[in-house]
């Protein structure tokens, strides 16, 4: 007898699915039993369902193909939700199998009952409840098609009894990804060209939508004599081999990117949903290019909206543009060189016996890592150091929870990257808070023999949260972390653990870790007083920090203020 679950696994196999991330449970028994007889699909047994969803999303981002995660009824599939939110906001195709309680018990407040189709609606492009075997495999085909075409999360809610029931239809369908080019009408392209030609200075702001369009964006920048500012998700696609790069803007960026935006008469936005309105210039004209029309004008009013792929639109625009002179570009590049030099000055060894400067650690990670490394920073201060010090080259990848902004993303995403390619060097820039939030999934690295290189920025604090408190004029509260020796914890789990307590030991530890054939955790004690200063400090932030300083002294914690000033004096002068 072919069950619904068996047909589901057969269809996933036909569609090239190589693994399913999850935890088993009784409501998933039919699915895991079928999976047991299909060795072509690997069951990646994680320790927390949130990790399963993060890992599936990371694999999808690396491959571009649909990936699968699964959770048992109630609390099991509920744990998937944070990782699914991340996948949805990163626009990667993921299918989630959310097992459900027995059909006849739905609506009775049965043990572990939830309403998954309601819970997952906001973080999915498709969610449906399979109430009867006759709905399958049709709903599976719709879910796969929707996830693939809309590049998002599709959720199928399947009660255990439905999964184990005989299949009404045992067909297996291959869902092929469509291929198309989207280009605006000629009159709209000309309208955009008119705005850009009339502007004395143009700055390009590029995001994740520039993937695969490096050459075309460079041609645009050359014709417009335009500096290129990238958002975080555009860094890996635009930063390398570019005589136009002036870095990032925004909270994670630095001054040159901010200045290049502010001094432009026109901004050309390419495939970006950069979310911070305060970093857009007030008086510049804006041309925005995006494959999703609903995103255009979401962050800042636009003068010309172009619906299309960045690669296609850039190629179509170049012939319509006048060749500009390079004064704006020259000024922006000159400022970038000065800004870059100041940032590099911060990435120096600390004095003997002192905690490591996190800037130095990030730069040494970049220098010693392989040319095709996948870097994954945790949300918080590691993302800032990744933005400022990791060098991209067209082969390296940079993954993270850059849109959803969730802590604890790094190790789970490393699992997804390595599960599909164990030979590719994968390095996390883990915060101590993020690491400990899903600490148990270090055991997944051991159990699945995944050679992740986990570098911990161990400053015994929720460092970015502290900075936010200080900028708001508040004394840091509830941000201190009493951390163990993470290297010792790793060794107890069967992972090679290395402890670094000063700058002198950084290079040797990283070199040893990167050469090791297996998972490694490098626990680096970093300075908790380092400030991650944004490119433009708002008046309210300055006022808040001054208020924090006064409160610190009055509360008897003046020594903390002294340590803060001593650590960050080099950032100000």
Q: Of residues 66, 229, 289, 379, which has the active-site annotation?
A: 379
Q: Is 549 annotated as a binding residue?
A: no
Is there a binding annotation on residue 281?
no
Q: Is 51 annotated as a binding residue?
A: no
Q: Please check if 54 is assigned to a binding site.
A: no
The values of phi and psi at residue 437, to 5°, are -65, -35
77 appears as a binding residue in the annotation: no
CA dihedral sign of residues 413, 419, 424, 430? positive
Q: Which helix (H) or strand (E) element contains residue 226? A: none
- Render 491-540 in DSSP notation, one character per residue: HHHTSEEEEE-SGGGHHHHHHHHHHSSS-EEEEEEB-TT-----SS--HH
The answer to whether 348 is annotated as binding is no
Is 486 one of the annotated binding-site residues?
no
Instruction: Give Cα 572 to chain centroid, integer Å.
Output: 30
DSSP at 480: B
Give which of 511, 519, 514 is closest to 490, Cα–Cα. 519
Residue of 120, 464, 486, 514 with catalytic role: 464
Q: Which of 33, 42, 105, 112 is catalytic?
A: 112
Distances from the Cα of 552 to the Cαs of 477, 540, 557, 559, 568, in angstroms?
12, 18, 5, 9, 17
Active-site entry in 2, 40, 104, 111? 111
Q: Is 552 annotated as a binding residue?
A: no
Look at the block and give the residue holding tokens 């600490």: 439
Q: Which of 17, 44, 49, 541 is catalytic?
A: 49
The verdict on whether residue 459 carries a ligand-binding annotation is yes
Task: Compute φ and ψ for 66, nearest 5 degrees.
Answer: -70, 140
461 is in an annotated binding site: yes
Structure tokens given for 546: 């001054």
| Residue 239 assigned to a binding site | no
Beta bridge partners of 158: 99
Enumerate residues 6+ apart whose C-beta is below 8 A from 271: 206, 207, 208, 209, 210, 211, 213, 234, 289, 290, 291, 310
244 φ, ψ to 5°?
A: -115, -5
539 is in an annotated binding site: no
Please give the biggest Cα pair distance in the chain: 76
Residue 49 annotated as catalytic = yes
The answer to whether 250 is annotated as binding is yes
Give the Cα separation of 413 and 452 in Å (integer). 10
Distance between CA 64 and CA 541 in Å, rounded?
Answer: 40
- Cα separation, 149 vs 161, in Å, equals 30
Residue 272 assigned as binding residue = yes
> How far does Cα 318 stand from its chain's mean position?
31
Q: Among this protein's residues, is 111 annotated catalytic?
A: yes
Q: What sign does the dihedral 420-422-424-428 (CA atoms) show?
A: positive
Q: Which stretches of 361-441 are assigned E, i.e. beta strand?
A: 374-377, 397-398, 426-431
Is 468 annotated for ligand binding? no
64 assigned ligand-binding residue: no
Q: Does residue 137 have a cis bond before it (omega within 30 degrees)?
A: yes
31 catalytic, yes or no? no
Q: Is 149 annotated as a binding residue?
A: no
Is there a catalytic annotation at residue 112? Answer: yes
406 annotated as a binding-site residue: yes
User: Is residue 486 annotated as part of the catalytic site, yes or no?
Assistant: no
* Residue whose C-alpha is closest to residue 238's, from 207, 202, 266, 199: 207
275 is in an annotated binding site: yes
Name the DSSP letter for residue 318: G
463 is in an annotated binding site: yes
Strand intervals (E) in 191-292:
202-206, 228-230, 245-248, 266-270, 285-290
* 180 annotated as a binding-site residue: no
Instruction: Please give the Cα distance from 516 to 452 (Å, whole number).
Output: 10
196 is in an annotated binding site: no
Other CB atoms within 10 Å distance of the CB of residue 341: 9
> Does 349 carry a binding-site annotation?
no
Residue 442 assigned to a binding site: no
The binding site for thiamine diphosphate comprises 49, 405-407, 432-434, 459-465
* Catalytic residue positions, numbered: 49, 111-112, 379, 464
The binding site for FAD comprises 249-252, 272-276, 290
The binding site for Mg(2+) comprises 432, 459
The binding site comprises 49, 249-252, 272-276, 290, 405-407, 432-434, 459-465
């Amino acid at each position: 007898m072919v069950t619904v679950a068996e047909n589901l696994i057969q269809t996933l196999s036909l569609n090239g699915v190589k693994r399913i991330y999850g935890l088993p449970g009784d409501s998933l028994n039919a699915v895991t039993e079928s999976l047991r007889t299909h060795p072509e699909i690997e069951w990646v047994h994680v320790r927390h369902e949130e990790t399963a969803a993060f890992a599936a999303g990371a694999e999808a981002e690396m491959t571009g193909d649909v990936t699968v995660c699964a959770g048992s009824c109630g609390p099991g599939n509920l744990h998937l939700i944070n990782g699914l939110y991340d996948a949805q906001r990163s626009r990667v195709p993921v299918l989630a199998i959310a097992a459900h309680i027995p059909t006849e018990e739905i609506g009775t407040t049965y043990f572990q009952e939830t309403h998954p189709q309601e819970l997952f609606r906001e973080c999915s492009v498709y969610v449906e409840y399979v109430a009867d075997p006759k709905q399958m495999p049709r709903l599976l085909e719709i879910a796969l098609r929707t996830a693939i075409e809309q590049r998002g999360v599709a959720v199928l809610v399947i009660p255990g009894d439905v999964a184990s029931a005989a299949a009404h239809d045992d067909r297996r369908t291959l869902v092929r990804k469509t291929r198309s080019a989207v280009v605006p009408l000629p009159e709209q392209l000309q309208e955009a060209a008119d705005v850009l030609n009339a502007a004395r200075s143009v700055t390009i702001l590029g995001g994740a939508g520039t993937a695969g369009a490096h050459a075309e964006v460079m041609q645009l920048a050359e014709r417009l004599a335009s500096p290129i500012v990238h958002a975080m998700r555009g860094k890996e696609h635009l930063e390398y081999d570019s005589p136009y790069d002036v870095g990032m803007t925004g909270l994670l960026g630095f001054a040159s990117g901010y200045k290049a935006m502010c001094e432009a008469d026109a901004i050309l936005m390419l495939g970006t949903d950069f979310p911070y309105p305060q970093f857009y210039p007030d008086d510049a004209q804006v041309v925005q290019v995006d494959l999703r029309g609903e995103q255009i004008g979401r962050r800042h009013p636009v003068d010309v909206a172009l619906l299309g792929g960045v690669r296609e639109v850039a190629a179509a625009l170049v012939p319509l543009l006048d060749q500009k002179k390079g004064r704006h570009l020259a000024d922006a590049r000159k400022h970038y060189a000065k800004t870059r030099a100041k940032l590099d000055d911060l990435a120096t060894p600390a004095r003997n016996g002192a905690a490591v400067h996190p800037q130095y650690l990030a730069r040494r990670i970049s220098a010693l890592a392989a040319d095709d490394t996948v870097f994954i920073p945790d949300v918080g201060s590691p993302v800032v150091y990744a933005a400022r010090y990791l060098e991209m080259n067209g082969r390296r990848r940079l993954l993270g929870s850059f849109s959803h902004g969730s802590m604890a993303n790094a190790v789970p995403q490393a699992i997804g990257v390595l599960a599909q390619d164990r030979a590719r060097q994968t390095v996390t820039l883990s915060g101590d808070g993020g690491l400990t939030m899903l600490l148990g999934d270090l055991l997944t690295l051991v159990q699945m023999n995944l050679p992740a290189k986990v570098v911990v920025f161990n400053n015994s604090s929720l460092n970015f949260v502290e900075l936010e408190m200080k900028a708001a004029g508040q004394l840091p509260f509830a941000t201190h972390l009493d951390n163990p020796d993470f290297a010792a914890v790793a060794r107890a789990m069967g992972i090679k653990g290395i402890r670094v307590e000063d700058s002198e030991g950084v290079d040797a530890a990283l070199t040893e870790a990167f050469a090791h054939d297996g998972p490694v955790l490098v626990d680096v004690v970093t300075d908790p007083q380092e400030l991650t200063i944004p490119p433009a400090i708002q008046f309210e932030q300055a006022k808040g920090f001054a208020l924090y300083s006064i409160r610190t002294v009055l509360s008897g914690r003046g020594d903390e203020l002294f340590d803060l000033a001593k650590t960050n004096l080099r950032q100000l002068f």
